[in-house]
């Protein structure tokens, strides 16, 4: 069995951002030389997500608006922020959107369903944060 590991660092301009990372993941699958296997992609921070959905900007705004209704940004109202942090909302947003995705690798390519793309969701940005890509297989 072969394996290939890559860490990507992202530093968003805004506090909240959704970024398409599909091309970066595809590049690592190509570099790995793995034809049949699995590709794991996960956020390495507890205030950011990796998820799969449609590459449609309206939907991305809908995600951010919906998350803001569920867990609005506020310094007050979160027990977590009593520790001196201000990102209680970001931990909750991350949990809703998920930590990681696993995509099958078939014939050397990510085996997506129709319209599926991989996104990084940042909920407490403006500082460097890492994403892990791990591909295993033959
Ligand atoms: Zn925190």
d(CA 83, ligand 1 centre) in Å? 9
Calculate ∠ Cα 9-11-17, nearest 5°: 115
Domain that residue 106 falls in: 2-137
pLDDT at position 122 is 98
pLDDT at position 73 is 97
- Report the CATH number that the domain containing residue 123 is assigned in CATH: 2.60.120.460
pLDDT at position 3 is 98
d(CA 47, ligand 1 centre) in Å? 7
How many domains is the chain built from? 1
Listed residue (120, 135, 134) closest to 9, CA to CA: 120
d(CA 39, ligand 1 centre) in Å? 28
pLDDT in tens, 6-28: 999 999 999 999 999 999 999 99
pLDDT at position 80 is 98
pLDDT at position 104 is 98
Low-confidence ranges of the chain (pLDDT < 50): none
Confirm if 64 and 16 have CB atoms less than 8 A apart: yes
């Amino acid at each position: 069995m072969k394996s290939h590991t890559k860490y990507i660092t992202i530093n968003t301009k805004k506090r909240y951002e959704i970024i398409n990372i599909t091309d970066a993941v595809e590049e690592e699958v190509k570099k790995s030389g793995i034809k049949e296997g699995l590709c794991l992609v996960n956020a390495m921070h507890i205030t950011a997500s990796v998820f799969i959905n449609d590459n449609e900007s309206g939907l991305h705004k809908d995600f951010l608006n919906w998350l803001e209704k569920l867990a609005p940004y506020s310094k007050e109202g979160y027990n977590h922020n009593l520790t001196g942090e201000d990102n209680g909302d970001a931990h909750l947003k991350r949990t809703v959107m998920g930590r990681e995705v696993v995509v099958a690798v078939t014939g050397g390519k990510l085996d997506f369903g129709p319209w599926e793309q991989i996104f990084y969701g940042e909920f407490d940005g403006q500082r460097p944060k890492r994403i892990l890509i791990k591909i295993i297989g033959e």
